[in-house]
Amino acid sequence: MYIVSSYFLAVILCVITMLCWGSWANTQKLAQKSWRFELFYWDYVLGILLMSLVFAFTMGSSGELGRGFVSDIGQAEMSNIGNAFLGGIIFNAANILVAAAISIAGMSVAFPVGIGIALVLGVIVNYVASPQGNAMWLFTGVALITVAIVIDAVAYRKKTSQSHKVPTKGIVLSIVGGILMALFYRFVASSMITNMEQPEAGLLTPYTAVFVFSVGILISNFVFNTLLMKRPFEGLPVTYSQYFGGTGKEHFTGILGGMIWSIGMTFSIIAAGKAGFAISYGLGQGATLVAALWGVFVWKEFYGVKGITGLLVTMFFLFLLGIGLIIYAGI
């Protein structure tokens, strides 16, 4: 299997993760013009699973070091498969809540609040479980990002006060989703090998762990998303017949979104071998910055709102500085 050979390469993969995790929601924004979120989400989940299989049978099955995907999944202990699978269930619940918040409150709000909370709590959880990197620089970076999240919330209050619309539901969904999002990564990480070149028996390689994780997302989606289709956060209920009646373009948009997210997840997991789970997860969740940039400059979610330019500039500066300190923590 392919193994990351240096910390520098691990950081590059984490930056790609950040770009992927911060950009996939653009496909949702594009699809929602004609395609309900609940229907989009089925294709998104299929895209995650499809991409995990692509990685499993390419990077996860090539090279002389490590253990190939087929042999790895055959020797895995059920407890480790269960942990990766549970990580998929927790992620799915969290992601549905955050994605629903995006449709209600917008990317520049839902991502900084939901994923920002996930970043702070997730780094703490993963560092306590597997301490790697300089704690002072790591948590200073996390603290700066936390301040940036608060500033974003202040900018959001200005926006809502001027538009006279306060979608409290969007904020609540972001917070709950963010708390759950902070937990899923640790379950996947606990199922994985610690020696990439000579994998321990019973544990999963990163590629197998991501595949099992993806299966957990798909199976849990038959419960979570079916309930959401019948009792949506917004709008009227939707049916499976509506899903199967979608156009090829609508289905492809969701699958593409899932594939983009899955690329980020796989790169984050394989980078953790050199960077550590806390740093790898923390950098990936810098996706908040990427999503906020999309929301502000492409989707114009703060267009026409007065008195927030300084707040947004400060928010982006603190995010960048925080991400830089997280990278420095692993050097």
Kindly report, residue by residue over 114-123, the tens digit of the pLDDT. Answer: 877 888 899 9
∠ CA 206-208-209, nearest 5°, is: 60
- Report the interhelical angle of 78-105 vs 37-57 (nearest 10°): 140
Short-list 175, 170, 173, CA closest to 121: 175
Instruction: Please report the pLDDT score of residue 239 as a whole number.
Output: 96
Residue 78's pLDDT band (cuts 50, 70, 90): very high
Check pLDDT > 90 for residue 63. no
Check pLDDT > 50 for residue 252. yes
Kindly report, residue by residue over 80-128, the tens digit of the pLDDT. Answer: 999 999 999 999 999 888 877 876 776 666 767 787 788 889 999 999 9
User: What percent of the chain is modeled with pLDDT above 90?
Assistant: 64
User: What percent of the chain is modeled with pLDDT above 70?
Assistant: 94
Within a domain: residue 195?
A: yes
Among 22-31, 202-211, 264-273, the least confident range: 22-31
Task: Compute the average pLDDT of residues 279-284.
Answer: 92
Contact criterion met (CB below 8 Å) for 10 and 273 = yes
Check pLDDT > 70 for residue 25. yes
Within a domain: residue 292?
A: yes
- Cα gap 142→145, rounded to integer Å: 5
Task: Compute the average pLDDT of residues 230-251.
Answer: 93
Within a domain: residue 259?
A: yes
* Prediction pTM value: 0.90
Buried b (16+ CB within 10 A) or exposed e, 134-153: eeebbbbbbebbbebbebbb
Instruction: Please report the pLDDT score of residue 162 as a whole number.
Output: 59
Residue 166's pLDDT band (cuts 50, 70, 90): very low
- Cα gap 148→317, rounded to integer Å: 8
Instruction: Please report the pLDDT score of residue 299 as a whole number.
Output: 81
pLDDT, mean over the chain: 90
Beta carbons within 10 angstroms of residue 9's beta carbon: 14
Within a domain: residue 185?
A: yes
Within a domain: residue 66?
A: yes
Task: Compute the average pLDDT of residues 280-309.
Answer: 82
- Cα gap 282→182, rounded to integer Å: 10
Within a domain: residue 2?
A: no
Structural domain harbouring 309: 7-329
Kindly report, residue by residue over 296-318, the tens digit of the pLDDT. Answer: 888 887 777 788 889 889 988 99
Hey, is 239 helix, strand or coil? coil
Count of structural domains, the chain: 1
The distance between the two most distant Cα atoms of the chain, rounded to a whole number of Å, is: 61
Ranges of H-type helices in the chain: 7-23, 25-31, 37-57, 69-75, 78-105, 107-110, 116-129, 135-163, 168-190, 206-230, 240-244, 248-275, 277-284, 287-293, 309-329
Within a domain: residue 49?
A: yes
DSSP class of residue 1 equals -
Within a domain: residue 253?
A: yes
Contact criterion met (CB below 8 Å) for 284 and 19 = no
- Cα gap 192→1, rounded to integer Å: 14
Per-residue tokens: 34: 């004609």
Which amino acid is present at 154?
V
Beta carbons within 10 angstroms of residue 313's beta carbon: 11
